[in-house]
Structure 1
């Protein structure tokens, strides 16, 4: 998959193919490079970093989800790129990159969190022109369980690389705590629905993947001390009812 010059098979981030979905799998390169010392893996890590530094952004510095999805931020995009970039920042001593990663979360929290429910809308179009968005807010209309799960997993995974003395760490911890307080309000028999707040909607259903994501994020956040241990009940109920 990785050639001697660090290029990655079938990965082309030029010619309109810049896409944050392509970054997440690169996390394995850190372990492979540490175990083998083969410089081609370091070159591949640098390739992915450089691709993201060349990735299009909105006016606030938030990464577009894809080059072909202009001005759009999606919750799942945070999971696809941010943990990789946070680890790259730690390994290569790039505090400015870590600040960039944290900024992505703060942008999403400001523009995509619903103050009424505490949930997050799946996507936001800064230009407010997409057919799927609200013409006033630029937000999509629904709370998609999987996307919130990706967002929450991204948050707790990135926190692993944020030093305890970082000035913005507490803001990330507050975001983690707020979502942990919100999730039980929409948990039914331990699980969550595909559209989280529309459990009565015909065709909606309890979604295994979203529930697994929430279980992982909450359990890890508790075990790492990012949120209070009382929230562990959320994860244990999900585990018990998913069996």
Structure 2
């Protein structure tokens, strides 16, 4: 059975001779922003699963893998250290993510972010552990608990679905489906229908009509303290959760286009992306060029510009522009806003360290709906230094700027 076109592209950059640790040490100023941050992540040993990082450790590994794979694909002549690190991160994940039942019970849907690299590395002899991990992650989607209308629970919180999980679900679910099912087969159609349904269900519950944005998630039973009595939606638009969703749309759409998926799927994802991104641009802070932690409460006391969500929106806008997914008349403004955001991040959140690496500041820690989900809750969650949820997003945004020659 053929592997997908897109997965084959990943595999081409992920194989190669091992690289010694000394190759990771060049953090020099001559490197582009994306590579400087990536080399610094490697120097800090981030994105490697150890079993000690809690339930979010799988997401940290998977997000690093995705950012570094993008680097390796673009900077193919100098990208081997990043490709090697993807292999190291993916290898570490095989120890923890090769059991489907445990995956579904022990990790949020973010675990699926590790599936892209595992699937790409699974081709060829001697790579059974990667294939076992990819298969287990795919099976864990079927084992994941769902609400009565079929929406996937984000984690263990009963009947709650989050935007956050779509970034990990969409690209992996589509890649695996194209790699393992035949064109037109019932199993392929069923999987693609389910994939689209997850995005559409979140949209229907969480779409914020006054802003055009989506709130963090919803409770199917509408019994959570924060749940809207009619839709079950949470009350606020949290920047990073919306960032996960916008990145999920553009990354999944890219795969659907490359794999020549049936028109109805490509059309549905494209329409959502084209509807949502103008609202994202409208929500940007005009003074700084960044996006607020609580996007729909601009300049409210306690609110602040948050660095991970800002990077995610910049990436989504620039990649969507590059691939032609945004309306033609809207594209120049979208690119201008996104480039300004990346420059703002570089100036205000990238920190030069004494050892030659660069740090990344201003990234909020985990914000969960297992809370009051109040405005006060969102603005008082800790700010983390060198969180890869921010720095990996910065790599992706910076890489898109570098593609433009800026």
What TM-score do the two structures reach when normalised by structure 2?
0.55
Describe the superposition over 1:174-230 as per-residue Cα deviations: whole angstroms up to 9, x where unpaired: 111111111122111211000002122111101111000001111111111111333
Which of 125, 128, 138 is the aligned partner of 1:49?
Answer: 138
Mapped pair 1:73 → 2:73: no
Q: Which has the larger radius of gyration?
A: 2
Q: Which stretch shows the higher mean deviation, 28-37 or 176-185?
A: 28-37
Relative to structure 1, the CA distance from residue 37 to residue 215 in structure 2 (aligned partners, 3 Å threshold; closer, same or farther) is: farther
- Which residue of 2 is the match for residue 235 of structure 1? 338
Report if the CA contact (8 A) 1:86-1:101 is conserved. yes
- Which residue of 2 is the match for residue 104 of structure 1? 198
Deviation for aligned residue 1:96: 2.5
Which of 92, 106, 109 is the aligned partner of 1:17?
Answer: 106
Mapped pair 1:174 → 2:271: yes
Task: Give 5+ residue unaligned stretches, structure 1.
Answer: none
- Cα distance in 2 for partners of 1:97, 1:212 equals 30
Relative to structure 1, the CA distance from residue 35 to residue 240 in structure 2 (aligned partners, 3 Å threshold; closer, same or farther) is: farther
RMSD: 2.2
Deviation for aligned residue 1:59: 2.2
Task: Give 5+ residue unaligned stretches, structure 2.
Answer: 1-48, 50-87, 182-187, 347-406
Report if the CA contact (8 A) 1:89-1:95 is conserved. no
- Which residue of 2 is the match for residue 63 of structure 1? 152
Describe the superposition over 1:131-184 as per-residue Cα deviations: whole angstroms up to 9, x where unpaired: 232233311111000000000001111112223642132121111111111112
Report if the CA contact (8 A) 1:90-1:161 is conserved. no
Relative to structure 1, the CA distance from residue 191 to residue 156 in structure 2 (aligned partners, 3 Å threshold; closer, same or farther) is: same
- Cα distance in 2 for partners of 1:164, 1:54 equals 25
- Which residue of 1 is the match for residue 292 of structure 2? 193
Aligned length: 238
Report if the CA contact (8 A) 2:109-2:165 is conserved. yes
- Which residue of 2 is the match for residue 125 of structure 1? 219
- Which residue of 1 is the match for residue 319 of structure 2? 220
- Cα distance in 2 for partners of 1:210, 1:35 equals 37
Deviation for aligned residue 1:14: 3.4
Relative to structure 1, the CA distance from residue 197 to residue 95 in structure 2 (aligned partners, 3 Å threshold; closer, same or farther) is: same
- Which residue of 1 is the match for residue 372 of structure 2? none
What TM-score do the two structures reach when normalised by structure 1?
0.89
Deviation for aligned residue 1:82: 2.0
- Cα distance in 1 for partners of 2:137, 2:254 equals 20
Deviation for aligned residue 1:80: 2.4
- Cα distance in 2 for partners of 1:202, 1:36 equals 57
- Cα distance in 1 for partners of 2:342, 2:101 equals 42
